[in-house]
Chains A and B, each alone.
Chain A
């Protein structure tokens, strides 16, 4: 594993090691992209404090921010979440290949 990857890993765990950040990611997963105004509505924390948390997670590649007019809109980095499926996909594909070998083995 490269040093750069280790560093990315360290960032990820730091980014998730906080209840506020986990809640923010959870809301973004559930509701889809949200403006900073929506994200902070009803929160006990200031907009600045929440933005700071979001920036930490942005640094780890978990969420990203786009501008919509004067608003910042935050969303979960879907590509990262898609990576989750790859582990099972890899194992799944190995089984596909193994079962095809079994098939040619018993049908010959």
Chain B
């Protein structure tokens, strides 16, 4: 089990420039993701977003409703036009009462690749292992999710499985 990264692939039957716009334009990104950003994405800059239920899928929008208003930050790392869009953030930072700013961030990257019928998009999110043990322990007492992190630590460091 790889505890550090998540990888996803999806085929998008759309032109490359369309896919790129949906990722790199903060208001377009916000539309499908369910976030309202306070500015455009620019490499090397941070942008703040507020969770708003997505309108693309009303059912998901309903699920997002309880987290509506949660503020979070993206640090834009890379914008290689029509190729690669990457940012850092605090994963699963849904507890509005909590300050995540001191924690390490994960790196989320979208790679665009030409495919026969459109664009093959690869999403990776890496860096889960960098969240320090101590922090995982705190997360454990702060919410139930922390428990699973702690057990993940046990699995990885004690059992040596990946």
A interface with B by C-beta (< 8 Å): 1, 5-6, 9, 12-13, 16, 22, 25-26, 29-30, 62, 76, 80-81, 83-88, 90-92, 94-107
A-side contacts of B18, CB under 8 Å? 106
Could you say which interface size class chain B belongs to? 35 or more
A-side contacts of B123, CB under 8 Å? 95, 99
Q: Is the CB of B12 within 8 A of A103?
A: yes
Q: Is the CB of A22 within 8 A of B148?
A: no
The docked-state distance in angstroms from the alpha carbon of A87 to that of B92 is 9
Q: Which residues 127-162 of B have a CB within 8 angstroms of A?
A: 128, 137, 140-145, 147-152, 154-155, 158-161
A-side contacts of B56, CB under 8 Å? 101, 104-105
The docked-state distance in angstroms from the alpha carbon of A96 to that of B154 is 27
B-side contacts of A98, CB under 8 Å? 32-33
Q: Is the CB of B19 within 8 A of A106?
A: yes
